[in-house]
Amino acid sequence: MSLKGKAYIAGIYEHPTRLATDLSLAMIHAEVAKGALEDAGLTNADVDGYFCAGDAPGLGPMSMVEYMGLKPRHIDSTDIGGSSYVAHVGHAVEAIAAGKCKVALITLAGRPRAEGMATGTVPRSRGGTPTPDEPFEFPYGPTVVNMYAMCAMRHMHQYGTTSEQLAWIKVAASHHAQHNPHALLRDVVTVEDVVGSPMIADPLHRLDCCVITDGGGAIVVVAPEIAKSLKRPKVKVLGAAEALKTQMGGKVDLTYSGAAYTGPPAFAEAGVKPSDVKYVSIYDSFTITVLMQLEDLGFAEKGKGGQLVADGNLISGVGKLPFNTDGGGLCSNHPGNRGGLTKVLEAVRQVRGEAHPKVQVENCDLALAHGTGGSLGSRHGSATVILERE
Amino acid sequence: MAAQAQAKERKLPAPAVSPETKDYWDAAAQGRLLVRKCTACGEAHHYPRTICPFCFSDKTEWITASGKGTIYSYSVMRRAPVPYVMAYVTLAEGPSMMTNIVDCDFDRLRIGQEVTVVFKPTDGGAPLPMFTPA
Ligand SMILES: [Zn+2]
């Protein structure tokens, strides 16, 4: 069964905080849920489907369902890292299409900054019973940044991608972030600023890396009859896909991401092609993440992503493929080190015509949001959604 | 060089050993690198599993690897108390494994470079197979 047009995104909310010292994790979940439901014109009593991932406190969705006074008849706590919430949109459409719920609420919250977490540069063991891969990885010191850096190194070796091309991704994000009053970093930066910033893990510099922030966001996905009854612009989900990419038993290939698995089915379901898309929200944990996903989703031939992203081509109003017009993870926020949900939020704003006027894409009737979760250099989740204004 | 002298002081956590991987770590303690190979489909894989991840046969066995390989990709982790090199090395036997490149000038490494296995002691556990330029 195709999911095309089976559900709509009716409400969104992004928490304005970037440092949540005075907020609990549960509070942030509830505040973003309230914000998104009010945006849609709904209340917690209307919610009959609830979706969250590992950032929610408690066992799966239990504690948050209780805390927010929800009575869901459909629940889903699939956790594929930062891509979870993009996958949740697809799952919500599936559940709605199958008649399992009509108003699906997805929430994300995190406060790594308040907790002083060294997110990207310290190797972390999950604790408890080790995963089967852990003894063969953790002792070597894999961190978020050096695992993505190995992808960048291989891409440069194989395709001639340069640090300057990667830097353009950050430059474009910074051009957008200057217009976002909530963005953590609002200064416009240059290619020279990026390549001149301290090297963290070759070839990724400090400014190739995303920010670490607190915050959160929520999405409300509803059945078509509910969407018709609400006053907000109708954002139709045209296509969705999810996948995992792994080390494949040692057949390691760092030149592509899970987007190569999710892009084609999402486009096929939506019945559109990359050149039809007016705006893209692309997971931007690092500059290399964006470049690889854009190639894998079909916006550039494999290996030619460097040319696609260079020379301001990702800047709204300047280039051909405006991306992450809120400043994205590179400049605005990365709540709980999980950036997939905010990717959907800015795509919805663009499709509604409610992005900041300085970055709003003209006649933005078709947008794509894509998330990656876990580590690009070992195993990661991947999820794509394609949205259309009706 | 200073970075090299410091590298000797990097403390390595001990790998967690399971019944499935005890032979691998015991061999490492004797200076041998093992690879798990499937006799049904003929493919070697890494990390080692009892059931082949390619054909799902349980006819897998240990083979002693040559210890030779090439760097598939790497990154010098500069933002660390003691800088180190993360890498994937593609073994002569086929699979690529996550590892570190050690005992060398980090700034002269390159993808495709030939490397050979060395074993480095951990904090109270089995030594870790790492690689150094051949
Ligand atoms: Zn096999």
Q: H or E segment at A172?
A: helix A163-177
Backbone angles phi, psi at A117, to 5 degrees: -80, 130
List the single residue in A121, A153, A249 with the smallest CB-CB distance to B79. A121
- Chain A residues 167-206 within an 8 A CB cutoff of chain B: 198-204
pLDDT at residue B8 in the model: 54
**Residue the block writes with tokens 């009010």:** A38
The CATH number assigned to the domain holding B58 equals 2.40.50.840
pLDDT at B74: 98
Rounded Cα–Cα distance for residues A298 and A251 (Å) = 23
Verify whether the Cβ–Cβ distance B88 to A150 is below 8 Å. yes
How confident is the model at residue B2, as a pLDDT?
Answer: 45
**A220 within a domain of the structure (yes/no):** yes
Average pLDDT over residues A360-387: 98
The answer to whether residue A173 sits within a structural domain is no
pLDDT (tens digit per residue) in A65-109: 999 999 999 999 999 999 999 999 999 999 999 999 999 999 999
Q: Which residues of A are less than 8 Å from B20 in CB distance? A: 132
- Show the tokens assigned to A273: 């092609």
Residue span of the structural domain in which A226 resides: 8-116+209-389
| A125 vs B7 pLDDT, higher one | A125
For residue B60, being part of any structural domain is answered with yes
The total number of structural domains that make up chain A? 1
How many contacts, defined by CB atoms under 8 Å, are there between A and B?
A: 119
Nearest to A249 by CA among B55, B68, B79: B55
| Residue B70 identity | T
Distance spanning both ends of chain B, measured CA to CA:
19
- A139/B14 CB distance under 8 A: yes
Does B1 reside within a domain? no
Output the pLDDT for position B3: 47
Structure tokens at B111: 């993808």
CB proximity B109 to A under 8 Å: no
Three-class secondary structure of residue B38 per DSSP: strand
**Average pLDDT value for residue range A34-38:** 98
Angle at B106 between CA B101 and CA B107, to 5 degrees: 145
Total number of domains in chain B: 1
Please report which helix (H) or strand (E) contains residue A346, including its range.
helix A340-352
The sign of the torsion formed by the CA atoms of A20, A24, A27, A33 equals positive
As to burial, measured by CB atoms within 10 angstroms (0-12 exposed, 13-18 middle, 19+ buried), residue A301 is: exposed
Q: How large is the ipTM?
A: 0.95
User: Which pTM was predicted?
Assistant: 0.96
If DSSP codes are grouped into helix, strand and coil, which group holds residue A226?
helix
Task: Kindly state whether residue B13 falls inside one of the protein's structural domains.
Answer: no
Q: What confidence score (pLDDT) does residue B5 get?
A: 46
What does the pLDDT read at residue A128? 78
Chain B neighbors of A136, CB-CB under 8 A: 15, 46-47, 97-98
Which one of A206, A251, A256, A378 would you mutate to disrupt binding with B, by most B Cβ within 10 Å of its Cβ? Answer: A251
Instruction: Flag whether A141 is in a domain.
Output: no
Q: What is the mean pLDDT of chain A?
A: 97
Tens-place pLDDT, residues A187-202? 999 999 999 999 999 9
Mean pLDDT, consecutive 10-residue segments, chain B of 134 residues? 55 95 98 98 98 98 98 97 97 98 97 98 97 97
- pLDDT class of A268 with cuts at 50, 70, 90: very high
Q: Six-digit token pair at B123?
A: 């904090």
Let me know if residue A171 belongs to a domain.
no
* Chain B residues within 8 A of A141 when measuring between CB atoms: 77, 80, 84, 86, 100
The domain of B118 spans 18-133
Confidence of residue A129 (pLDDT cuts 50, 70, 90): confident
Residue A383 near residue A82, CB atoms below 8 Å: no
E strand intervals along A298-365: none
Give the integer Cα–Cα distance in Å for A70 and A58.
15
For residues A334-347, give the mean pLDDT: 96
| DSSP of A233-268 | PPEEEEEEEEEEE--GGG---TT--THHHHHHHHHH
Residue B3 lies in a domain: no
pLDDT digits (tens, 9 = 90+) for A220-251: 999 999 999 999 999 999 999 999 999 999 99
Among the partner-chain residues B20, B54, B72, the one whose CB lies closest to the CB of A249 is B54
Strand A235-245, strand A8-14: pairing: antiparallel
CA geometry: angle A205, A209, A214, nearest 5 deg: 145
